[in-house]
């Protein structure tokens, strides 16, 4: 990958790092394009089971769109592929963990919102700041699915930031850890997920998102459809066999 976005394999985890710390990891054109490229690389990387998305430096995960670039280009309505929105403009079947090392504002908040799991350092802060600069946040439409609607309204109407602890309290963040432990804790979580049967992991993720868009009876039917191929896989036989033989399963992903 280019210098703006780094791609590094650590075991079964693919670490994708936004690397513009001097600009608080703002999403200029180069970063946006390379985030798409890194995501496609992760999708194609057969040995990568989990993506960990983070930012370089200690100050920012991602401060959002590059306002200087927006002013220069006189950006109006962003195109559908302006920035990666996982499951909307780029499909990612494998899990994504956001390791939030600092501020996650605007487009940075978007990236965290679209991750599956979130680990935040104690110094992280979160905000949907578009109202403060006259921009829009149409991508925040799913936010009331993640957090209580009243809290979502306060975020989008005020543009004010909340702490990592507050984000944890409202269910937006899974774990808050000391900054020095962030990478190790994210890696440990990725390793725990990667140790599981890959087809089961991907199906479990798919079921959660399928249920968001359906009534209960339809969600149950769709869940049965998604998991059917998992039950029929070689791994579905390997799991009970390994348990019986008192050994670690050897997953084949088929």
In sequence order, what DSSP letters do the residues of the chain get, joined into one string? --TTEEEEEETTEEEEEE--GGGTT-B-HHHHHHHHHHHHHHHH-TT--EEEEEESSSSEEE--B-HHHHHHHT--SPPTTSS--BTTTB---S-EEEEE-SEEETHHHHHHHHSSEEEEETT-EEE--GGGTT---GGGTTHHHHS-HHHHHHHHHH---EEHHHHHHTTS-SEEE-GGGHHHHHHHHHHHHHTS-HHHHHHHHHHHHHHHTS-HHHHHHHHHHHHHHHHTSHHHHHHHHHHHTTS-------
How confident is the model over 200-211, as pLDDT tens digits?
Answer: 999 999 999 988
**Looking at the predicted structure, is the pLDDT value of residue 144 above 70?**
yes
Q: Does residue 21 form part of some domain? A: yes
Q: Are residues 51 and 98 in the same domain?
A: yes
Q: Are residues 22 and 127 in the same domain?
A: yes
Contact call for residues 237 and 231 (beta carbons, < 8 A): no
Q: Are residues 183 and 220 in the same domain?
A: no
Question: Tokens 């969600």 identify what position?
Answer: 219
pLDDT at 229: 84
Q: Does residue 249 form part of some domain? A: no
Cα 251 to its chain centre, rounded Å, is 24
pLDDT at 32: 92
- Measured CA to CA, the distance from residue 5 to residue 15 in angstroms comes to 10
- Measured CA to CA, the distance from residue 174 to residue 209 in angstroms comes to 17
**Looking at the predicted structure, is the pLDDT value of residue 103 above 90?**
yes
Q: Quote the tokens at residue 231.
A: 């039950």
The least confident of 11-25, 158-172, 238-252 is 238-252
Q: Are residues 69 and 20 in the same domain?
A: yes
Higher-pLDDT residue of 218 and 235 is 235
Q: Are residues 10 and 101 in the same domain?
A: yes
**Looking at the predicted structure, is the pLDDT value of residue 134 above 60?**
yes
Q: Does residue 37 form part of some domain? A: yes
- Measured CA to CA, the distance from residue 84 to residue 117 in angstroms comes to 17
- The structural domain count of the chain equals 2
Q: Does residue 133 form part of some domain? A: yes
> What confidence tier does 246 reach under pLDDT thresholds 50, 70, 90?
confident
Q: For 253, left (φ over 0), alpha (ψ -120 to 50), or beta?
A: left
> What confidence tier does 2 reach under pLDDT thresholds 50, 70, 90?
low
Mean pLDDT of 164-181: 98
The least confident of 80-84, 127-131, 157-161 is 80-84
Q: Are residues 135 and 223 in the same domain?
A: no
232 closest CA partner among 208, 254, 205: 254
Q: Does residue 252 form part of some domain? A: no
Mean pLDDT of 123-152: 90
- Measured CA to CA, the distance from residue 250 to residue 254 in angstroms comes to 11
Q: Are residues 22 and 40 in the same domain?
A: yes
Q: Are residues 127 and 185 in the same domain?
A: yes
Q: Quote the tokens at residue 212.
A: 């968001």
pLDDT at 70: 67
Q: Are residues 235 and 113 in the same domain?
A: no
């Amino acid at each position: 990958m280019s210098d703006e976005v780094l791609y590094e394999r650590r075991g079964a985890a693919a670490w994708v790092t936004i690397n513009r710390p001097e600009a608080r990891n703002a999403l200029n054109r180069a970063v946006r394009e390379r985030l798409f490229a890194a995501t496609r690389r992760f999708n194609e990387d057969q040995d990568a089971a989990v993506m960990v998305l983070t930012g370089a430096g200690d100050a920012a995960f991602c401060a959002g769109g590059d306002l200087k670039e927006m002013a220069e280009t006189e950006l109006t309505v962003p195109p559908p592929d302006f920035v990666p929105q996982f499951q909307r403009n780029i499909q990612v079947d494998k899990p994504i963990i956001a390791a939030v090392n600092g501020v996650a504002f605007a487009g940075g908040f978007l990236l965290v919102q679209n991750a599956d799991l979130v680990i935040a350092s104690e110094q992280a802060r979160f905000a949907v700041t578009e109202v403060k600069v006259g921009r829009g946040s149409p991508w925040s439409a799913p936010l009331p699915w993640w957090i209580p609607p009243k809290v979502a309204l306060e975020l989008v109407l005020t543009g004010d930031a909340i702490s990592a602890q507050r984000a944890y309290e409202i269910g937006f963040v899974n774990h808050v850890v000391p900054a020095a432990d962030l990478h190790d804790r994210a890696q440990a979580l990725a390793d725990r997920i990667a140790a599981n049967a890959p087809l089961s992991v991907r199906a479990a993720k798919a079921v959660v998102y399928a249920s968001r868009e359906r009534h209960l009876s339809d969600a149950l039917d769709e869940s049965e459809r998604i998991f059917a191929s998992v039950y029929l896989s070689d791994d579905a036989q390997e799991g009970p066999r390994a348990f019986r033989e008192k050994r670690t399963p050897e997953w084949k992903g088929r």
